[in-house]
Structure 1
Amino acid sequence: MAVREKLWTYEDYFQLEDEKRYEIIDGELLEMPAPSLRHQKVIWNLAYVFRRYQEKKKRGDFYLAPVDVVLSQEHVVQPDLVFVSKDRLSIARDKGIFGAPDLVVEVVSPSTFKRDTEDKRRLYAKHGIKEYWLVFPEERVVEVLTLKGDEYEVFSHAFESGKVCSKLLEDFCLNLEEIF
């Protein structure tokens, strides 16, 4: 839902004084609804699995929503989970991630389906995010997409059971039973 008729920038966004969550995509300010309890549970389960990996491998840092990812002045998003590799940690600052993280996870809700599967997919590819995970709690599906050229292709996929693996994170796979 657009809040006003103008091109929003990060500076405008930063001046907002209410407690609502927003994203800016193509200069449009979009209010983010509160996630469902199922959505939150999946995020926490994902965070736990990624944290275990982080403690063993120490390849970079993971950040959990809400965290601002400022891709440009007209593109500020709040993915559910973000990974920044160790050699790129300079983009992670106190107020958010300023630049393209290496990996982004979106837990898809019915209210954000188009935004996550189309708008953000296009946006993340445009900004060079190497790996994009789409998690569909209702369907119990996880897709791991990797950037090839300027588009994503499916690298790993699982439905209801089984496991998905990351191309970016060495030796990282998760069983769907761990998150659903």
Structure 2
Amino acid sequence: MAEPAYRNAGYEDILALPEHRVGEIIGGELYSHPKPAPRHARAYSALGYLVGGPFDGGRNGPGGWWIIDEPEIHLAGDILVPDMAGWCRERLPVLPDSAWFELVPDWVCETLSPATKRTDRALKMPRYAREGAAHLWLVDPDTHTLEVYSLQDDRHWRLLKILKGDDEVRQPPFEAVGFSLGNLWA
């Protein structure tokens, strides 16, 4: 897990980071990591296309979602930047005018990398659960896997499925349209 750069960090600490770094404030501490390597960026870009087309754009799918790459999300003092997140348009009819969101997403997707996987699992997953994100996907381009989680009533994650390789992805909340997981791997 990346060591925090500053304790009692503020938004100005994120703004002061070099352009090639992503900053998040978790539990009052600034965490910074490099932007994703091409293989990891490719995985979440492909996922954005495969999920965004039918669910955000309504192309050959039901629509009804906002699917956003690297949104900045402000929740209970934390500033989180998942690789991708989605909001049902019923809950978020209009995108905010600010550069960030203050409403917890309905779906969060983190692309695991050596620099981020411990922070994603140990720090961010519990916060998404605490705030009530209903669905979480963890994509691992190194192991070619997708872990699918659903939030339980007690605000804990339940692992629904681990997909691998070229398995068909038809998982909550996007089970209406399937695609091959293999499309994510470069």
Contact kept, 8 Å, 1:60 with 1:84, in 2: the verdict is yes
How well do the aligned residues superpose, as a CA RMSD in angstroms?
2.0
Contact kept, 8 Å, 1:23 with 1:30, in 2: the verdict is yes
One-letter amino acid of the counterpart of residue 114, structure 2: P
- From 86, 91, 100, the counterpart of 1:88: 91
Percent identical across equivalent pairs? Answer: 23
Q: How many angstroms apart in 2 are the aligned matches of 1:143 and 1:126?
A: 19
- From 129, 133, 139, the counterpart of 1:135: 139
**1:71 and 2:64 aligned:** no
Contact kept, 8 Å, 1:108 with 1:137, in 2: the verdict is yes
Give the TM-score, by structure 1 length: 0.88
Query: What is the aligned partner in structure 2 of residue 50 from structure 1?
Result: 51
* Count of aligned pairs between the two proteins: 176
Report the alpha carbon displacement of residue 162 of structure 1 after superposing the two structures with TM: 1.0
Contact kept, 8 Å, 2:62 with 2:176, in 1: the verdict is no
- From 164, 174, 178, the counterpart of 1:159: 164
Contact kept, 8 Å, 1:156 with 1:164, in 2: the verdict is no
One-letter amino acid of the counterpart of residue 158, structure 1: L
Structure number with higher strand proportion: 1
Give the TM-score, by structure 2 length: 0.85
Structure number with higher helix proportion: 1
Contact kept, 8 Å, 1:157 with 1:164, in 2: the verdict is no
Query: Are the structure 2 counterparts of residues 142 and 170 from structure 1 closer, same or farther at C-alpha, using a change threshold of 3 Å?
Result: closer
Contact kept, 8 Å, 2:33 with 2:115, in 1: the verdict is no
Report SS of the residue matched to 1:157: strand
Q: How many angstroms apart in 1 are the aligned matches of 2:14 and 2:144?
A: 35
Instruction: Name stretches of at least 5 consecutive residues in structure 2 with no aligned partner.
Output: none
Report the alpha carbon displacement of residue 134 of structure 1 after superposing the two structures with TM: 0.2
State how 1:21-32 maps to structure 2 within 5 Å. 21-32=22-33
Instruction: Name stretches of at least 5 consecutive residues in structure 1 with no aligned partner.
Output: none
